[in-house]
């Protein structure tokens, strides 16, 4: 049995990773589960999968869970619990679905042990891509991208020379507002932004699909994962979310990875890589694949996309700065403290105000902390009129 960690086990990625485990009984052994505060859901997962370790970031939630755990399950609690779990548990692969900058430290812990990191926490690469890829090389670890777009590129490049890539095409559904006029974005509510037309995802990622900030961050991910320059990365609106991304080679050939919009597909791939394991997931579906369309993103409707390329051009700690600002801005939007259209303005203001050379994790964490404070200041300025 393959020993497995699931970081962020009660979230969208974590629950779907456990669906993959459940669908193939006897293949995976869940060694550890980590969650934030959803102790009731974690308790149910513990009773089903019987891991040796569980981790809860919220200390009060851990106090609720502790007396309900089987005696042979060790509990780690506090903000560093997931990182500690990654340091001490026995596993081959960690599926990492924690959302936000808090996921960076567990990513570092996994790679320092030379393990396989099935990474859905895009913030890790956005914040510290060059550091993580160097850790993987130094310790013999592997970064497997779970994001459907990056996973598609990874699959298309297996056995290929990256030096023969002309460019990649990251596909984006366009989210729920792709047919609005730019002026209509001023009336957008959190409820509207959370109604993604194709995917079922967590709140921050869903809002990022509406602003296209998720694609801006994927530009940075692609740069770090595959060593691509900005001019080799192209974003295209593909409404059906069937083609997850494409690679265009120097001879003009284009290779695409297709599949229904179901995150269990890339999870299944990463959890079995380098093998192709059987599954019950749907492949070709005439109803879904009948019409495939493409269009350029409207820069007035999706101004956030340009911020990813700006951060890539500036380098240094710009990825960490942009991610931190967006986390705070999206949080304020969901709390109704910031209009939807202001998310991009806050992110741009923080990115323009803060940026330095950075080659250490300590520097990344400083940039993250300072950018969050700048973002809060920008939100307070908006509130003050």
Residues 136 and 199 in one domain: no
Give me the count of residues in the chain. 385
Residues 129 and 214 in one domain: no
In a domain, 271, yes or no: no
CATH number at residue 103: 3.40.50.720
In a domain, 264, yes or no: no
Q: Which of 114, 145, 176 is the last residue of a domain?
A: 145
For 92, which DSSP code? S
Provide the residue range defining the domain that includes 128: 2-145
- Give pLDDT tens digits for 229-270: 999 999 999 999 999 999 999 999 999 999 999 999 999 999
Q: Which residue has the higher pLDDT, 359 or 310?
A: 310
226 and 220 Cβ atoms separated by less than 8 Å:
no
Residue 118 forms beta bridges with which residues?
95, 144
CA-based nearest residue to 129, from 351, 364, 357, 369: 364
In a domain, 299, yes or no: yes
In a domain, 67, yes or no: yes
Residues 126 and 185 in one domain: no
340 and 193 Cβ atoms separated by less than 8 Å:
yes
- Give pLDDT tens digits for 143-167: 999 999 999 999 999 999 999 999 9
**What is the band of 354 on the pLDDT scale with cuts at 50, 70, 90?**
confident
Query: What DSSP line would sit under 241-267, residue for residue?
Result: --EEEEEEETTS-EEEEE--S-THHHH
In a domain, 169, yes or no: yes
341 and 333 Cβ atoms separated by less than 8 Å:
no
**Residue 96 to residue 358: CA distance in whole angstroms:** 24
In a domain, 274, yes or no: no
CA-based nearest residue to 261, from 281, 233, 246, 279: 281
Q: In the numeric block, which tokens belong to residue 4?
A: 């497995």
Q: pTM higher than 0.95, yes or no? A: no
**Spacing of C-alpha 36 from chain mean position:** 16
Residues 10 and 139 in one domain: yes
In a domain, 267, yes or no: no
CATH number at residue 380: 1.10.1740.10
In a domain, 275, yes or no: no
Our count of domains for the chain comes to 3
**CA-to-CA dists, residue 160 to 20, 176, 245, angstroms:** 28, 35, 16
Q: Which of 86, 113, 145 is the last residue of a domain?
A: 145
- Which SS3 state, helix, strand or coil, does residue 50 take? coil
Burial 221-241 (b: 16+ CB within 10 A, else e): bbbbbbebeeebbebbbbbbb
């Amino acid at each position: 049995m393959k020993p497995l960690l699931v970081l962020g086990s009660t979230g969208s990625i974590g629950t779907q990773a456990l669906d993959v485990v459940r669908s193939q009984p006897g293949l995976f052994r869940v060694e550890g589960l980590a969650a934030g505060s959803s102790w009731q859901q974690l308790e149910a997962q513990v009773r089903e999968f019987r891991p040796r370790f569980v981790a809860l970031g919220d200390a009060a939630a851990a106090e609720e869970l502790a007396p309900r755990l089987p005696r042979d399950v060790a509990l780690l609690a506090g903000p560093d619990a997931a990182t500690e779990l990654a340091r001490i548990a026995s596993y081959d692969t960690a599926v990492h679905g924690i959302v936000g900058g808090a996921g960076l430290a567990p990513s570092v812990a996994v790679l320092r042990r030379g393990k396989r990191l099935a990474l859905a926490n895009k913030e890790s690469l956005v914040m510290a891509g060059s550091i993580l890829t160097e850790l993987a090389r130094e310790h013999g670890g592997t970064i497997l991208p779970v994001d459907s777009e990056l996973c598609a590129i990874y699959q298309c490049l297996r056995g290929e020379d990256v030096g023969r890539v002309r460019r990649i095409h990251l596909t984006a559904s366009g989210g729920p507002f792709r047919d609005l006029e730019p002026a209509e974005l001023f009336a957008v509510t959190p409820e509207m932004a959370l109604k993604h037309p194709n995917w079922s995802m967590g709140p921050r990622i869903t809002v990022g699909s509406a602003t296209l900030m998720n694609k801006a961050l994927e530009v940075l991910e692609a740069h770090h994962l595959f060593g691509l320059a900005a001019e080799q990365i192209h974003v295209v609106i593909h409404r059906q979310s069937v083609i997850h991304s494409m690679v265009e080679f120097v001879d003009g050939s284009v290779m695409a990875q297709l599949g229904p919009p179901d995150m269990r597909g890339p999870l299944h791939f990463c959890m079995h890589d380098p093998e192709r394991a059987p599954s019950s997931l749907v492949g070709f579906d005439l109803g879904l694949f009948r019409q495939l369309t493409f269009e350029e993103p409207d820069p007035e409707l999706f101004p956030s996309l340009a911020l990813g390329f700006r951060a890539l051009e500036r380098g240094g700690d710009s990825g960490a700065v942009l991610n931190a600002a967006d986390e705070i801005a999206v949080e304020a939007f969901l709390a109704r403290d910031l209009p939807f259209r202001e998310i991009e303005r806050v992110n741009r203001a923080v990115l323009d105000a803060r940026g330095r050379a950075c080659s250490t994790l300590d520097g990344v964490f400083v940039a993250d902390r300072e950018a969050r404070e700048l973002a809060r200041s920008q939100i307070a300025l908006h509130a003050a009129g």
